[in-house]
C-alpha cells in the first residue's frame, strides 16, 4: 500500500467515525441486512416473521433483538425458537456492539465459525442444546469480555482450545455433553472469577486439569463422565473451599479419600461414584454438615459405614452401593430423617436392620439387596415407610414372616424380596399395592396359597413366586392382571388346572409353571390373546390332553419346554410357523404325528428334544436346515426311514441321539462333518451297512453307541482318531474280522468298551492292556480265539468284564482283578483255565509264566461288585446302552 493510499484510508476512516453518532440508521441497516442475510440462509421459520427488509426501521423490535441506547443491536436472543440451519452465514463483523448471543435450544448444525471471535464485546454466549459439530475455533479466545459461555450438549469435538485461557472475566463455563478432548492444561491459567465449571461427558483423558485448583471462586464443578485418571489433587480440597457441588462421577480416579475432603465444608452435593477409589469412608465426611447428596457407589471402599453419617441431618440421598463395605448398618443412619433415597446394595453388610431406620419416614427408595443382612423384617418399618416406591432387599438372609403391614406401602412400584429365607404365607394385604409394577418373592420359603387379592395388582408387569412352598391352586384372579408380561410360579407345590383366565393376559411374554403338581388340560384359548408369548414352560407337571391350538398364534415363541407331562396328540399347526424357536423340549410325553410335518423351518433352533414320545414319519432333508442346532434328541419314538445325508449341515451339533427308533439304511458317511459332536447314539435301530470310515473324523466324540443295529463289516481302525472316547459300544451287530489293535490307543476309554454279540474273530489285541482307565469291558459272544493276552493285566481299572462265549484258550491273565471278576465272565470258552470258579486249573507246565509267578498274596477284598451296583445293573441289562445317555434323556 502506498503512502497516499494509506492517508486516504485514514481520512476516510476518520470521516466515517465522525458520521457515526449522527447516522445510527446506517449502522442499524448494516446489522439488519446481516440478520436478513442469515435469515435467508436458514430454512423458513415463523419465529423470524418480524425480520424483514420492509421492517428495518423496527429492527430493535424484531423478535429476539435488543438494541443499545443508540439503536445498535446489543442482544440476540433466539433461544428455543425452533430454528435450524447453520450459524456460518451470520456475519459477526456486522455487530460491533453485541454483548449477548443466545441461540440455545434450537437445531443449529454445522460448525461454530471462527468469525465469532470478532464479537469483542460479547459478555454472554449460549449455544447450548444444538447439534453443532466440528471443533471450537481458537478465535473464541478473542472474546475477552466473556462472562458466561455455554456450549453444552452439542456434537463438538477436538481439543478444547487453550485460548479459552484469555477469558479473564469468565464466571460461568459449560462445555458439557460434547466430544471434547484434553488440551495442554498447562497453557490454561486459573480463572479468578469462575464460579461454575462443567466439562461433563466429554472425552477428557489424562490427569486432573491443573488450572481448576486455582479457580478459588468455584462453587460448581462437574467433570463427570470423562476418562480422567490418577489422584484428585490435594489442592482441590484445600483451595476450593467455596465448592457446593462436586461431581467427578464415572472417571478412573483412584486412591483413598483425602482427609482434606472435610475442608469443602460448603458442599451440598458430593458425587464420586464409578471410579476406583479405595480405603475407608472417612468419619470426617460428617463435618460437611450441609451435605444433601452423597454418592460413593461403585468404588472399592471397604470397612465400616461410618456411624458419624448420622450427623448429616440434611442428607436426602445416600448411595454407597457396589463397594466392599462389611459392617452392620449403624443405627445412627436413622437420624438422617430427610433421607429419601438410601442405597447400600451389593456390599457385604451384615446384621439385622436397626429399628432406628423406622425414623426414615421420608424414604422413597430403599435398596439393600445383595448383602448378608439377616433377622426379621419388623412391621414397625413398614408402617413408617409408607412413602416407599421401591423396596429392594433381595439376595440377603432375612427370615420370618412378611408382615401384613406390607399392605400399607401403597406407593410401592417395586417390591423385590427374592432370595431370602422369608416364611409363612404371602399376606393377602399385598393386594393393596395397586401401584406395583414388579413383585418378586421367589426363592424363599413362603407357604400356603397364592392370595386371590393378587388380582387387584392391575399394573403389575412382572410376578415371580418361583421356588417357594406354595400350595393350592393358581387363583383365577391372576387373569385380571392385565399388564402382566412375565408370570413365573415354577418350583412350588401348586396343584389343579391352569385357570382359563390366564388366556386373558394380552401382554404375556413369559409363562413358567414348571415343577409343580399341576394337571388337567391347558386352557383351550391359551396363547390366542397373547401375541407376545415367547417363553413357555410347563415341564414336570401332570398336564394332559393336546396343546392349545392357538398357543403359538403370535409366532413369538422362543423357548417352549413341556417335557415330562402327559400331553398327547399332535403339535399345534401354528408350531411349524414359529421361526424364532431356539429351545424346544417335548420329551417324556405322548405326542404323536409325523415328526417332519410337526416342525417347519426354525433357523434359530438350538436345542430340540422329542425323546420318548410316539412320533412317526421319516427324517426329511429339511432337518439339515436347522443350522444352529447343538442338540438333537429323538430317541424312543417310531421314526423310520434313513438318516438323511443333509445331516452333514448341522455343524453345530454336539449331541445327536436317535436311538430306539425304526431307522434303516446306512450310518451316513456325511456325518464326518460334525466336528463338534461329542455324544452320538444311533443304537437300537435297523441300520445296516458298514461303519463309515468318516467316523474317524469325529474327533470330539466322547460317547459313541452304535449297538443293536445290523451293521456289518470290520470295526474301522480309524476309530483310534476319536481320542476323547470315554464310552464305545458296538455290541449286537454283525461286525466281523479282527478287532483293530488301534482301539488300544483309546486310552480315555473309561466308562465302557462293549464289542459283544458280534462275529469278531481271531486275537484279542494285547494293546487293550493300555486301557488302564476302563471300568466296563465286554467281548462276549464273538468268535475270538487264542489266549487272553497277559498284557490285559494292565487294565487296572476294570470292574466288570466279560469274555464269555468265545473260543478263547489258555490261562486267564494274572492279577486278582481277573480271578475275582464276575462269576460268568469266562464261561463258554472251552479252552480257558485258571483259578476261577467254573474253570479248570491250568496245567503247571503251560501256565507257570502267566498265572502264577506274580500273583499277589490274598489281600482284603475290594468289594468291587458291592460298590458298583448300577454298573452291574447295566451289564445285566446286556444291551450295551450307555447309562449316561439314558440318564441324560430323562432330564429336561
Partner 1 sequence: MSFLSILCFFLCFSSALSTNSEGNALHALRTRLSDPNNVLQSWDPTLVNPCTWFHVTCDTSNHVVRLDLGNSNVSGTLGPELGELKHLQYLELYRNNIGGKIPKELGNLDKLISMDLYGNKFEGKIPKSFANLKSLRFLRLNDNKLTGSIPRELTTLSNLKIFDVSHNDLCGTIPVDGPFASFPMESFANNRLNGPELKGLVSYDFGC
Binding residue for partner 1, selected from 15, 20, 862, 877, defined by CB under 8 A = 862
Secondary structure element (H or E) that encloses residue 607, with its range: strand 607-609
Instruction: Single out the residue of 297, 305, 263, 261 nearest to residue 281, CA to CA.
Output: 305
Are the C-beta atoms of residues 539 and 514 closer than 8 Å to each other?
A: yes
Q: Does 165 bind partner 1 (CB under 8 A)?
A: no
Q: What angle do CA 445, 450, 451 make, to 5 degrees?
A: 125
Instruction: Single out the residue of 296, 207, 298 nearest to residue 253, CA to CA.
Output: 207
Binding residue for partner 1, selected from 84, 797, 824, 852, defined by CB under 8 A = 797
Secondary structure element (H or E) that encloses residue 229, with its range: strand 229-230
Instruction: Single out the residue of 680, 579, 681 nearest to residue 636, CA to CA.
Output: 681
Q: Does 394 bind partner 1 (CB under 8 A)?
A: yes
User: Looking at 50-58, 410-418, 520-528, 730-738, which segment touches partner 1 (CB under 8 A)?
Assistant: 410-418
Q: Rounded to 10 degrees, what is the CA torsion of 637, 640, 642, 643?
A: -20
Residues in the chain: 892
Min dist CB 281 to partner 1, Å, is: 19
Identity of the residue, 98 or 343, whose beta carbon is nearer to partner 1 in the bound complex: 343
Identity of the residue, 678 or 768, whose beta carbon is nearer to partner 1 in the bound complex: 678
Identity of the residue, 103 or 632, whose beta carbon is nearer to partner 1 in the bound complex: 632
User: Looking at 55-63, 339-347, 500-508, 550-558, which segment touches partner 1 (CB under 8 A)?
Assistant: 339-347
Q: Does 21 bind partner 1 (CB under 8 A)?
A: no
Q: Does 469 bind partner 1 (CB under 8 A)?
A: no
Cα separation, 790 vs 810, whole angstroms: 10
Query: Alpha carbon of 321 to those of 227, 251, 336, 363: distances in Å?
Result: 21, 17, 18, 16
- Residue 263 DSSP one-character state: G
Min dist CB 366 to partner 1, Å, is: 8
Residue 859 CB-density burial (10 A; 0-12 exposed, 13-18 middle, 19+ buried): exposed
- Residue 124 DSSP one-character state: E
| DSSP collapsed to 3 states, 178-222 | CEEECCCHHHCCCCCCCCEEECCCCCCCCCCCHHHHHCCCCCEEE
Q: Does 211 bind partner 1 (CB under 8 A)?
A: no
**# binding residues, partner 1 (CB under 8 A):** 68
Q: Does 565 bind partner 1 (CB under 8 A)?
A: no
Q: Does 491 bind partner 1 (CB under 8 A)?
A: yes
Q: Does 814 bind partner 1 (CB under 8 A)?
A: no
Residue with cell 474327533: 699
First to last CA, the chain: 94
Cα separation, 358 vs 376, whole angstroms: 14
User: Looking at 91-99, 160-168, 242-250, 362-370, which segment touches partner 1 (CB under 8 A)?
Assistant: 362-370
Identity of the residue, 245 or 341, whose beta carbon is nearer to partner 1 in the bound complex: 341
Which residues make Cβ contacts (< 8 Å) with residue 325, sequence separation at least 6?
Answer: 281, 301, 302, 303, 304, 305, 344, 347, 348, 349
512: left (phi over 0), alpha (psi -120 to 50) or beta: beta
Bridge pairing between strands 542-545 and 566-569: parallel
User: Looking at 145-153, 340-348, 423-431, 731-739, which segment touches partner 1 (CB under 8 A)?
Assistant: 340-348
Are the C-beta atoms of residues 533 and 509 closer than 8 Å to each other?
A: yes
Cα separation, 353 vs 311, whole angstroms: 19
User: Looking at 107-115, 459-467, 656-664, 782-790, which segment touches partner 1 (CB under 8 A)?
Assistant: 459-467
Identity of the residue, 490 or 778, whose beta carbon is nearer to partner 1 in the bound complex: 490
Q: Does 777 bind partner 1 (CB under 8 A)?
A: no
Residue with cell 464420586: 272
Identity of the residue, 524 or 748, whose beta carbon is nearer to partner 1 in the bound complex: 748
Q: Does 488 bind partner 1 (CB under 8 A)?
A: yes
Q: Does 343 bind partner 1 (CB under 8 A)?
A: yes
| Contact letters for partner 1, residues 168-207 (x by CB under 8 A) | ----------------------------------------
Min dist CB 887 to partner 1, Å, is: 5
Q: Largest alpha-carbon pair distance within the chain? A: 142
Min dist CB 640 to partner 1, Å, is: 27
Min dist CB 797 to partner 1, Å, is: 6
Q: Rounded to 10 degrees, what is the CA torsion of 308, 312, 317, 323?
A: -20
Min dist CB 310 to partner 1, Å, is: 22
Min dist CB 888 to partner 1, Å, is: 6
Q: Does 347 bind partner 1 (CB under 8 A)?
A: no
Neighbours of 661 (CB within 10 A): 24
Q: Does 321 bind partner 1 (CB under 8 A)?
A: yes
Min dist CB 420 to partner 1, Å, is: 12
Q: Does 345 bind partner 1 (CB under 8 A)?
A: yes
Q: Does 637 bind partner 1 (CB under 8 A)?
A: no
Identity of the residue, 218 or 489, whose beta carbon is nearer to partner 1 in the bound complex: 489
Q: Does 630 bind partner 1 (CB under 8 A)?
A: yes
Neighbours of 849 (CB within 10 A): 12
Secondary structure element (H or E) that encloses residue 13, with its range: helix 3-19
Segments of 667-769 assigned E as strands? 679-681, 686-690, 703-705, 710-713, 727-729, 734-737, 752-754, 759-762
Binding residue for partner 1, selected from 105, 367, 696, 813, defined by CB under 8 A = 367
Residues 576-605 that bind partner 1 (CB under 8 A): 585
Q: Does 418 bind partner 1 (CB under 8 A)?
A: yes
User: Looking at 40-48, 308-316, 361-369, 427-435, which segment touches partner 1 (CB under 8 A)?
Assistant: 361-369
| Contact letters for partner 1, residues 524-543 (x by CB under 8 A) | -------------x-xx---
Residues 744-763 that bind partner 1 (CB under 8 A): 748, 750
64: left (phi over 0), alpha (psi -120 to 50) or beta: left
Q: Does 467 bind partner 1 (CB under 8 A)?
A: yes
| Contact letters for partner 1, residues 640-659 (x by CB under 8 A) | --------------xx----
Are the C-beta atoms of residues 681 and 882 closer than 8 Å to each other?
A: yes
Paired with 271 in beta bridges are 247, 295
Identity of the residue, 631 or 733, whose beta carbon is nearer to partner 1 in the bound complex: 631
Binding residue for partner 1, selected from 139, 174, 222, 365, defined by CB under 8 A = 365
Q: What angle do CA 377, 379, 384 make, to 5 degrees?
A: 110
Give the footprint of partner 1 on this chain (CB under 8 A): 319, 321, 341, 343, 345, 364-365, 367, 369-370, 389-390, 392, 394-395, 413-414, 416, 418-419, 438, 440, 442-443, 462, 464, 466-467, 488, 490-491, 512, 514-515, 537, 539-540, 561, 585, 607, 609, 630-631, 654-655, 678, 702, 724, 726, 748, 750, 772-773, 796-797, 799, 856, 859-860, 862-863, 867, 884, 887-888, 890-892
Amino acid at each position: 500500500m502506498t503512502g497516499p493510499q494509506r492517508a486516504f484510508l485514514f481520512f476516510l476512516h476518520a470521516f466515517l467515525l465522525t458520521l457515526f453518532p449522527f447516522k445510527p440508521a446506517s449502522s442499524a441497516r448494516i446489522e439488519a441486512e446481516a440478520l436478513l442475510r442469515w435469515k435467508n440462509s436458514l430454512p423458513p421459520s415463523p419465529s423470524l416473521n418480524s425480520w424483514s427488509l420492509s421492517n428495518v426501521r423496527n429492527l430493535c423490535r424484531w423478535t429476539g433483538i435488543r438494541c443499545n441506547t443508540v439503536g445498535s443491536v446489543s442482544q440476540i436472543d433466539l433461544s428455543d425458537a425452533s430454528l435450524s440451519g447453520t450459524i456460518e452465514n451470520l456475519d459477526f463483523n456486522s455487530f460491533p456492539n453485541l454483548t449477548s448471543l443466545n441461540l440455545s435450544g434450537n437445531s443449529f448444525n454445522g460448525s461454530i465459525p471462527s468469525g465469532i471471535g470478532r464479537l469483542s464485546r460479547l459478555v454472554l454466549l449460549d449455544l447450548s442444546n444444538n447439534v453443532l459439530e466440528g471443533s471450537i475455533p481458537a478465535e473464541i479466545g478473542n472474546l475477552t469480555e466473556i462472562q458466561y459461555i455455554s456450549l453444552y450438549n452439542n456434537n463438538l469435538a477436538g481439543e478444547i482450545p487453550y485460548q479459552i485461557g484469555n477469558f479473564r472475566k469468565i464466571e460461568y463455563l459449560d462445555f458439557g455433553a460434547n466430544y471434547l478432548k484434553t488440551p495442554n492444561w498447562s497453557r490454561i491459567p486459573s480463572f479468578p472469577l469462575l464460579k461454575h465449571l462443567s466439562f461433563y461427558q466429554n472425552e477428557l483423558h489424562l490427569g486432573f486439569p491443573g488450572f481448576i485448583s486455582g479457580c478459588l471462586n468455584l462453587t460448581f464443578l462437574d467433570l463427570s463422565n470423562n476418562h480422567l485418571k490418577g489422584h484428585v489433587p490435594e489442592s482441590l480440597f484445600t483451595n476450593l473451599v467455596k465448592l457446593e457441588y462436586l461431581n467427578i462421577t464415572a472417571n478412573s480416579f483412584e486412591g483413598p479419600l483425602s482427609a482434606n475432603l472435610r475442608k469443602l465444608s460448603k458442599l451440598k452435593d458430593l458425587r464420586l461414584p464409578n471410579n476406583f477409589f479405595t480405603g475407608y469412608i472417612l468419619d470426617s465426611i460428617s463435618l460437611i454438615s450441609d451435605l444433601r447428596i452423597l454418592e460413593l457407589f461403585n468404588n472399592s471402599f471397604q470397612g465400616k459405614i461410618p456411624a458419624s453419617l448420622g450427623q448429616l441431618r440434611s442428607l436426602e440421598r445416600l448411595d454407597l452401593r457396589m463397594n466392599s463395605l462389611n459392617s452392620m448398618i449403624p443405627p445412627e443412619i436413622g437420624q438422617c430423617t430427610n433421607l429419601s433415597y438410601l442405597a447400600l446394595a451389593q456390599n457385604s453388610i451384615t446384621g439385622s436392620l436397626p429399628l432406628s431406620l423406622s425414623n426414615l419416614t421420608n424414604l422413597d427408595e430403599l435398596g439393600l439387596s445383595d448383602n448378608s443382612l439377616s433377622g426379621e423384617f419388623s412391621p414397625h418399618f413398614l408402617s413408617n415407610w409408607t412413602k416407599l416406591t421401591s423396596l429392594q432387599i433381595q439376595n440377603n438372609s432375612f427370615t420370618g414372616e412378611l408382615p401384613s403391614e406390607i399392605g400399607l406401602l401403597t406407593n410401592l412400584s417395586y417390591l423385590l424380596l427374592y432370595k431370602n429365607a422369608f416364611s409363612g404365607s404371602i399376606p393377602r394385604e399385598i393386594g393393596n399395592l395397586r401401584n406395583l409394577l414388579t413383585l418378586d418373592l421367589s426363592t424363599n420359603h413362603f407357604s400356603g396359597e397364592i392370595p386371590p387379592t393378587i388380582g387387584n395388582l392391575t399394573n403389575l408387569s412382572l410376578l415371580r413366586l418361583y421356588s417357594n412352598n406354595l400350595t393350592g391352586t393358581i387363583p383365577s384372579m391372576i387373569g385380571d392382571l392385565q399388564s402382566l408380561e412375565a408370570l413365573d410360579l415354577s418350583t412350588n407345590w401348586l396343584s389343579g388346572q391352569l385357570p382359563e383366565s390366564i388366556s386373558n393376559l394380552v401382554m404375556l411374554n413369559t409363562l413358567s409353571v414348571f415343577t409343580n403338581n399341576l394337571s388337567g388340560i391347558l386352557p383351550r384359548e391359551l396363547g390366542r390373546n397373547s401375541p407376545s408369548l415367547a417363553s413357555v414352560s410347563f415341564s414336570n407337571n401332570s398336564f394332559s390332553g393336546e396343546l392349545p391350538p392357538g398357543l403359538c398364534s403370535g409366532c413369538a415363541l422362543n423357548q417352549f419346554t413341556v417335557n415330562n407331562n402327559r400331553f398327547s396328540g399332535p403339535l399345534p399347526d401354528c408350531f411349524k410357523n414359529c421361526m424364532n424357536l431356539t429351545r424346544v423340549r417335548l420329551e417324556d410325553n405322548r405326542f404323536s404325528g409325523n415328526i417332519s410335518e410337526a416342525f417347519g423351518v426354525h433357523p434359530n433352533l438350538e436345542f430340540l428334544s422329542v425323546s420318548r414320545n410316539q412320533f412317526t414319519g421319516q427324517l426329511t432333508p429339511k432337518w439339515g436346515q436347522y443350522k444352529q442346532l447343538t442338540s438333537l434328541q429323538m430317541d424312543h419314538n417310531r421314526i423310520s426311514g434313513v438318516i438323511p445325508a443333509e445331516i452333514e449341515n448341522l455343524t453345530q451339533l454336539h449331541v445327536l441321539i436317535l436311538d430306539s427308533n425304526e431307522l434303516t439304511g446306512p450310518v451316513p458317511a456325511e456325518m464326518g462333518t460334525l466336528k463338534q459332536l461329542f455324544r452320538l447314539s444311533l443304537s437300537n435301530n435297523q441300520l445296516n451297512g458298514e461303519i463309515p470310515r468318516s467316523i474317524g473324523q469325529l474327533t470330539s466324540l466322547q460317547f459313541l453307541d452304535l449297538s443293536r443295529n445290523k451293521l456289518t463289516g470290520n470295526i474301522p481302525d480309524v476309530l483310534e482318531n476319536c481320542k476323547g472316547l470315554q464310552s464305545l459300544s458296538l455290541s449286537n451287530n454283525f461286525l466281523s474280522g479282527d478287532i483293530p489293535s488301534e482301539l488300544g490307543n483309546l486310552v480315555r476309554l473309561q466308562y465302557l468298551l462293549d464289542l459283544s454279540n458280534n462275529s469278531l474273530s481271531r486275537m484279542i489285541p494285547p494293546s487293550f492292556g493300555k486301557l488302564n482307565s476302563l471300568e466296563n469291558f465286554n467281548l462276549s459272544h464273538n468268535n475270538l480265539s487264542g489266549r487272553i493276552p497277559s498284557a490285559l493285566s494292565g487294565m487296572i481299572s476294570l470292574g466288570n468284564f466279560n469274555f464269555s462265549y468265545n473260543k478263547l484258550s489258555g490261562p486267564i491273565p494274572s492279577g486278582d482283578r481277573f480271578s475275582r471278576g464276575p462269576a460268568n465272565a469266562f464261561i463258554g470258552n472251552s479252552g480257558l483255565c485258571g483259578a476261577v470258579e467254573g474253570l479248570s486249573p491250568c496245567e503247571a507246565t503251560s501256565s507257570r509264566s502267566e498265572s502264577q509267578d506274580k500273583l499277589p498274596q490274598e489281600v482284603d477284598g475290594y468289594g468291587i461288585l458291592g460298590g458298583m451296583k448300577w454298573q452291574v445293573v447295566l451289564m445285566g441289562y446286556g444291551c450295551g446302552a450307555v447309562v449316561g445317555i439314558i440318564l441324560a434323556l430323562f432330564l429336561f
